[in-house]
Structure 1
Amino acid sequence: MSQNQIPVIVNGATGKMGREIVKAVAKEPDLILMGAIARNPEVQGKDAGEIAGLSEPLEVPITNQLEPMLGYVAGERQMLPGVMVDVTHPDVVYDNVRSAIAYGIRPVVGTTGLSPEQLRDLGDFAEKASTGCLVIPNFSIGMVLLQQAAVAASKYFDHVEIIELHHNQKADAPSGTAVQTAQMLAEMGKTYNQQQVEETEKIAGARGGLAEEGIRIHSIRLPGLIAHQEVIFGAPGQIYTLRHDTSDRTCYMPGVILAIRQVQKLKSLVYGLEKIL
């Protein structure tokens, strides 16, 4: 440990994203893994590096005790402020993030499913505590570029729908990325998809979920998928499709590492990877 290293807690350390984050943090000389949190009783006490697939142990045992770990890292005054990367579950992410802020630990949140009300509450709490917090629906640089291209296209197209595709272990739908994309399009100040006919759904939900400003989002959950999104614009005589596909979760790691470093500079909650690029 040194005064120039950022101590990191990975919450959800044994999940698919968590294991990749453990490996990514271990490679960076300015970061040090201080805690690995997981609920699974079968991994308690095992080395986080070995579970992640590293060739050598990190000497960081997996524990299910988040708050004691937050307190421990907060007490390491000889180091930079700690960061908690949360990749857990929508049911617990709000409490995790609030606890981290209370201990002065900076949250980097990759877990989706926070409601607008929860985001506002966490934003108020972070600002009062002068503690940085990053909520990132998608850590992929490619997805940020897709969203920017979609915003640019929205100036010229009045009809758009979003399709997001994920593995069948994802608990929330639609994805946080799809919701964020719809929000960005809605911020352009126009209403999309003016109804041409009176539609009737023969099966409820066939037309997808209705997001802001008339934008439809369709969610697909299948084994074999990781994370994918299409934004489809339509106009007379043409279709313009933007698509982003992930084939390996390593694509998220540059964004995760950037977020860990950048959250140190913040004093409030910031939403979206594009805000720190």
Structure 2
Amino acid sequence: MIEVCVAGAAGRMGRAVVGAVSREEDMRVAMSVDPVLEGEPDSYPDLMSAIAAGTPDVMVDFTVPDSVFANAITALGAGVHVVIGTTGLSDEQVAEIRALAEGGPANALIAPNFAVGAVLMMRFAAEASRHMPKAEIIELHHDRKLDAPSGTALRTAALMEGEPAIHSVRLPGLVAHQEVILGGTDETLTIRHDSLSRESFMPGVVLAVRAVEQRPGLTLGLEPVLFGDL
């Protein structure tokens, strides 16, 4: 049984993660971390107090950019594997997480997007960019998303040839959407992915929770878990 700690458990993504983990037979939510939940059973206001009460196998973090780095450092230092879906980490912070994961007993997996379709979109866009000379990325998210461009858009651009421009849209009514438009001689190619609810991310989160223990050091993106060749 995989014992899971969910950081940001009262948030929209956190609640979805709690539900997804609870439905799996080989894992359970051992503790929830969120100041909103303080006083509820197996809930703690911060990660340090949660780990002081017991050591889970994996921490899943869907908090905010101001909290995720400290949570990752705390968990890795305690020997807890981490799965991070919160975006906004700096390159320097990722490098420090990598150093801790490579030098200690716990591993880390950071993914900007856990939707399997979004990972496929990124892979297709990377391949298409080798054959079409120009591309631009349009990412659209709900108006409460704190970072722009999104982590998914930045990851997509990093995988592609050239330097595609990124355009960010923040509007109420959206969840998470991205188009990659590529142009060639008298033709265009559009690759689009739409997450219609936060449940679209849950199969990937569950997959990452199962996989992180077997992937030494730091894994960036869900692609290595899905394809095993990146």
Alpha-carbon deviation of 1:61? Answer: 3.9
Question: Which of 3, 10, 16 is the aligned partner of 2:12?
Answer: 16
Residue 116 of structure 2: which of 127, 137, 141 is its match?
A: 141
Which of 26, 43, 46 pairs up with 1:30? 26
Q: What is the match of residue 6 of structure 1?
A: 2
Cα RMSD of the aligned pairs, angstroms, is 1.3
Q: Is the 8 A contact 2:108 2:219 kept in 1?
A: yes
CA distance in structure 1 between the aligned counterparts of 2:199 and 2:167, rounded to whole angstroms: 26
Residue 206 (structure 1) aligns with: none
Matched, 1:125 2:100: yes
- Separation in structure 1 between the aligned mates of residue 54 and residue 156 of structure 2, nearest angstrom: 35
The aligned counterpart of 1:70 is 51
Secondary structure of the residue aligned to 2:140 is strand
In the aligned structure 2, how far is the partner of 1:100 from the partner of 1:130?
11
1:94 aligns with 2:43: no
The two structures have a TM-score, normalised by structure 2, of 0.94
Shift of 1:72: 3.0
How far, CA to CA, are the matches of 2:35 and 2:164 in structure 1?
A: 37
Aligned to 2:137: 162
Cα deviation, 1:143-170, whole Å, max 9, x if unaligned, reads 1111111112112111000010001111
* SS of residue in 1 equivalent to 2:19: helix
Indicate if the aligned counterparts of 1:127 and 1:269 stay in contact, CA closer than 8 A: yes
Report the TM-score, using the length of structure 1 for normalisation: 0.79
Percent identical residues:
44
In the alignment, the residues of structure 1 paired with residue 38 and residue 70 of structure 2 have an alpha-carbon distance, to the nearest angstrom, of: 21
- 8 Å CA contact 1:134–1:271 kept in 2: the answer is yes
Q: Is the 8 A contact 1:135 1:271 kept in 2?
A: yes
Count of residues paired in the alignment: 226
Question: Are 1:44 and 2:35 an aligned pair?
Answer: no
Looking at structure 2, the residues matched to 231 and 101 of structure 1 have their Cα atoms a distance apart, in angstroms, of 35
Match of residue 211 from structure 1: none
User: d(CA) in 2 for partners of 1:266 and 1:144?
Assistant: 18
Within 1, Cα distance between the matches of 2:192 and 2:65? Answer: 26
Q: How does 1:183-262 map to 2 (within 5 A)?
A: 183-186=158-161, 191=162, 214-262=163-211
Please tell me whether residue 106 in structure 1 is matched to residue 81 in structure 2: yes
Match of 1:57 in 2: none
Distance across 2 between alignment mates of 1:61 and 1:105: 17
**Counterparts of 2:155 and 2:65, CA distance in 1:** 16
Larger Rg: 1
Q: Is the 8 A contact 2:43 2:50 kept in 1?
A: no
| Structure 2 CA distance for aligned equivalents of residues 262 and 16 of structure 1 | 24
**C-alpha deviations, 1:124-179, integer Å up to 9, x for none?**
11111132110011001001111111112112111000010001111111111100
Q: Residue 30 of structure 2 contacts residue 42 of structure 2 at CA under 8 Å; is this kept in 1?
A: no
Aligned AA (2:220)? Y
Provide, for residues 53-82 of structure 1, a one-character-per-residue CA deviation record: whole Å limited to 9, x for no partner: xxxxxxx443213112123332xxxxxx61
Report runs of 4+ in structure 1 exceeding 4 Å deviation.
none
2:11 maps to amino acid: G
